Amino acid sequence: MGTAYVVASGKGGTGKTSLVAGVGAALAAAGHRTLCIDADIGLRNLDIVLGMTDRVLMNFADVIEGRCTLEKAAAQHPQLQQLYLLTAPMSLSPGQIQAEQMRTLLQKAREQFAFCLLDAPAGIGSGFRLSASSADRAIIVTTTDSSSLRDAQRAVMELSEYPQLRSKHLVVNRVEKRLLRKLHRNIDDAIDTAGLPLIGVVPEDEKVRLATNREVPVILTESGGAARAYTNIAARLCGRRVPLMRL
């Protein structure tokens, strides 16, 4: 039976989708059957980041409403055989899907995949709640900006409404090397503000954006920087002890 992770943030644009794509690709490259689920209903873009826009014909609402099986709707990545994507509906609103339906979907997904990564929408609205209520564990992505940290703190508070979440971890994204002197203080502040243990630090890396533009997962073309950080986080999700990378 697999494990479902919700990747959320509070503030928008902190790097959730990039993290789901990077860590999902790294898990698949390590041989784990992985399903990335775009839970950003109406504003999906995980298909673009994974380079799979032409492969996603059916979405998770099609599965929930019985128009299609999960096996059919989960599209396989062109290069990574163990990586699958279940995309979000474009024309529904999150309020039209019941938490119970999402939980049933995730139950099916856990039977078929070792890891399910839910890319939650920004904020703490109904899309966030739908994702949080169907996951086993949570990852909060923040940058070191104070507004991002405050929103992360808020998201962590909201997550306490979901007692089935067995763990909550923090990823600090877009950490800049040139702020090295302040870096440790920033990361410590992030951990203190969010009140969560750290599972990874991802450096600011223009390769993330370039990979998105090329529609190829960054871990397939790069080995350092953010790609390395995503691979390390994937290893930690598999229970391996990997030291935090030196920036």
Ligand X SMILES: Nc1ncnc2c1ncn2[C@@H]1O[C@H](COP(=O)(O)OP(=O)(O)OP(=O)(O)O)[C@@H](O)[C@H]1O
Give the footprint of ligand X on this chain (CB under 6 A).
9, 12-18, 40, 122, 173-174, 202, 204-205, 208-209, 212, 226
Please give the backbone phi and psi of residue 52, each rounded to the nearest 5 degrees, phi first.
Answer: -130, 25
- Report the partner that residue 15 touches, choosing among ligand X, Mg ion, none (CB closer than 5 to 8 A by kind): ligand X
Task: Calculate ∠ Cα 174-179-180, nearest 5°.
Answer: 100
Directed axis angle between helix 206-214 and helix 225-237, to 10°? 90
Which range, of 9-17, 74-82, 202-210, 239-247, touches Mg ion by CB under 5 A? 9-17
CB 119 → Mg ion: shortest distance, Å?
Answer: 6
| Nearest residue (CB) to ligand X, 12 versus 31 | 12
How far apart are alpha carbons 54 and 215 in whole angstroms? Answer: 11
| Nearest residue (CB) to ligand X, 81 versus 93 | 93
207: helix, strand or coil: helix
How far apart are alpha carbons 194 and 196 in whole angstroms? Answer: 5
| Nearest residue (CB) to ligand X, 70 versus 89 | 89
CB atoms within 10 A of CB 27: 29
The Cβ-side half-sphere exposure at 226, using a 13 Å CA radius, reads 28
What residue is closest to Mg ion based on CB? Answer: 17
CB 168 → ligand X: shortest distance, Å?
Answer: 17
| Nearest residue (CB) to ligand X, 110 versus 121 | 121
- Report the partner that residue 14 touches, choosing among Mg ion, ligand X, none (CB closer than 5 to 8 A by kind): ligand X
Chain-centre distance of CA 61, in angstroms? 19
Q: Of the candidates 9, 17, 34, 193, which one interacts with Mg ion according to CB under 5 A?
A: 17
- Report the partner that residue 18 touches, choosing among Mg ion, ligand X, none (CB closer than 5 to 8 A by kind): ligand X
Cβ–Cβ under 8 Å, residues 190 and 201: no
- Report the partner that residue 212 touches, choosing among Mg ion, ligand X, none (CB closer than 5 to 8 A by kind): ligand X
Which range, of 17-25, 31-39, 92-100, 239-247, touches Mg ion by CB under 5 A? 17-25
| Nearest residue (CB) to ligand X, 70 versus 200 | 200
Residue in this structure with the two tokens 């994702």, named with its chain if needed? 131
Question: 126: buried, middle or exposed (CB in 10 Å: 19+, 13-18, 0-12)?
Answer: middle
How far apart are alpha carbons 7 and 3 in whole angstroms? Answer: 13
| Nearest residue (CB) to ligand X, 17 versus 133 | 17
In the complex, which residues of this chain contact Mg ion (CB under 5 A)? 16-17
